[in-house]
Amino acid sequence: MLHNPLLLAENDRPLHLELRAESAERDVDGGFPSAGFAALEARGLTTPSLKPDGFRHLLRLLAEVGRGDLPVGRIFEGHVNVLALLERHSPAAQSSHYQDLARKGHLFGIWNTDHPEHPLKLVNGRLVGRKTYASGIDGLSHAIVTAHVPQGRLMIVVPLEDLPVDRSWWQPMGMRASGSHIVDFTGMEVQDDMILGAPDAYLERPWFAAGAIRFVAVHVGGMHAVLDIVLEHLRKTRRIEAPYQLQRIARMGAAVESGYGWLDRAAAEWSAVAAGSHPAAGLIATVNAARGFVEAAAMSVLEDGEKSVGAAGMIAPHPLERIIRDLRTYLRQPDPDGAQAALGSALAAGDWHPGACYQQPRT
């Protein structure tokens, strides 16, 4: 399916297999998945192309990373988002500076969720407050944080060295290695060159809402990983030819393929919106549709996978046990009901149509 040579090592080992090498260990200790990011850096993938007409390749890369390791995919998706925001909202010199850092192995995060009791604010040139769900903090050099100012929410690029981190809060069922801790920024001085864009630029339409397709791509990779694990288990146990097993893996395979189809439609529309030939409302609706479909399909794939492997898949160190926890946790993205309501509104208004086809530009 993937033809990009960067996704293969010199021995033709797919990237997703290499990313799985430390997954079990990092799930136990919750440490940053350094080996996974070393594999990405070795292939030059920490600075992927962000050109709109190559967006399909970016989504396929995110899916491949998610197929290998969902915590790596979560952190990598944030890194890619930061690079896109820097390209869109910063002067060329500033964007080039961070691109250069990324080529040298630096990784970036983006954190929008405020601590409920200590929201992040910019007051008299200094930050006051904390961020939660600060994914990847233990392996990142910089992050974009959003801070409250009178005019809205302002993006600020902050260095992360020597900040107070509360790791006691992060006790999740899955996605342990994403290290989504609480970080306190109180007292950090903000220089003018740390500010990115105007207030509320982070919410720019359609890219904020449509950007959800990046984590959807990682979810599709997670679905694919479940299918990989089930197929391997059934082959090893010589149960793959059982009629009911064949029915389950057929459903799983069709669901995974449909997930990739949603990525391809969203990528084509993303390119068309960037070129000015497609309405932004249509792209947002497509992404909302993809969110809803992939969530439901992933839950179905998990159920079929659990039934196919049976109790053995619920016991560590079986890889299915870990990915069940990781994927079920990662699927809980913000405001799924709102996304589906918005899709319904787009259908009612005639702004979105099932079956529409958009030609993906050649790269």
Residues 229 and 340 in one domain: yes
Task: Give the residue from 103, 118, 145 where a domain finishes.
Answer: 103
Interval 121-126 mean pLDDT: 97
Which pair of tokens denotes residue 183? 């970080």
Residues 276 and 291 in one domain: yes
153-192: per-residue pLDDT in tens? 999 999 999 999 999 999 999 999 999 999 999 999 999 9
User: Measured at the alpha carbon of residue 362, what is the angle toward residues 356 and 363, in degrees to the nearest 5?
Assistant: 130
Name the percent of the chain in helix, strand, coil, to the closest 5: 55, 10, 30
Task: Give the residue from 87, 103, 119 where a domain finishes.
Answer: 103
The verdict on whether omega for the bond into residue 159 sits within 30 degrees of 0, i.e. cis, is no
Interval 14-23 mean pLDDT: 95
Residues 73 and 121 in one domain: no
Would residue 363 count as lying in a domain? no
Residues 53 and 122 in one domain: no
Residues 154 and 177 in one domain: yes
Interval 205-231 mean pLDDT: 98
Which pair of tokens denotes residue 153? 């929410």
Distance (Å) of CA 80 to CA 176, 263, 277: 21, 16, 25
- DSSP notation for 220-282: HHHHHHHHHHHHHHHHHTT-TTSHHHHHHHHHHHHHHHHHHHHHHHHHHHHHHHHTTSS-HHH
Give backbone dihedrals phi and psi of 250, rounded to 5 degrees, phi first.
Answer: -65, -45
| Pairwise CA distance, residues 15 & 7, whole Å | 5
- Write the DSSP symbol of residue 114: B
| Pairwise CA distance, residues 281 & 221, whole Å | 26
pLDDT confidence bin for 7, thresholds 50/70/90: low
- pTM check: above 0.85: yes
10 Å Cβ neighbour count for 110? 25
Residues 321 and 218 in one domain: yes
Residues constituting the chain? 363
Residues 236 and 266 in one domain: yes
Which pair of tokens denotes residue 52? 């709109």
Question: Is the predicted pLDDT of residue 129 greater than 90, yes or no?
Answer: yes
Domain that holds residue 113: 108-202
| Pairwise CA distance, residues 229 & 254, whole Å | 16
Interval 202-211 mean pLDDT: 96
pLDDT confidence bin for 1, thresholds 50/70/90: very low
**CATH number assigned to the domain comprising residue 212:** 1.20.140.10
pLDDT value of residue 299 = 98
Read off the amino acid at residue 255.
Answer: A
| Pairwise CA distance, residues 63 & 220, whole Å | 6
Tell me the three state secondary structure of residue 115: coil
252-282: per-residue pLDDT in tens? 999 999 999 999 999 999 999 999 999 999 9
The verdict on whether omega for the bond into residue 336 sits within 30 degrees of 0, i.e. cis, is no
| Pairwise CA distance, residues 180 & 138, whole Å | 9
Give backbone dihedrals phi and psi of 159, rounded to 5 degrees, phi first.
Answer: -75, 150
Which residues, other chains included, contact 99 with Cβ-Cβ below 8 Å and sequence gap of 6+?
47, 83, 86
Structure-derived torsion over alpha carbons of residues 110, 113, 115, 117, reported in degrees to the nearest 10: 140
The DSSP element (H or E) to which 128 belongs, if any, is strand 126-128
Which pair of tokens denotes residue 359? 């030609």
Contacts 24+ apart (CB under 8 A), 159-167: 160/109, 163/188, 165/134, 165/137, 165/138
Interval 34-38 mean pLDDT: 97
Residues 129 and 163 in one domain: yes
Task: Give the residue from 62, 87, 103 where a domain finishes.
Answer: 103
pLDDT confidence bin for 360, thresholds 50/70/90: low
- Number of structural domains the chain divides into: 3
Question: Is the predicted pLDDT of residue 66 greater than 80, yes or no?
Answer: yes
**CATH number assigned to the domain comprising residue 26:** 1.10.540
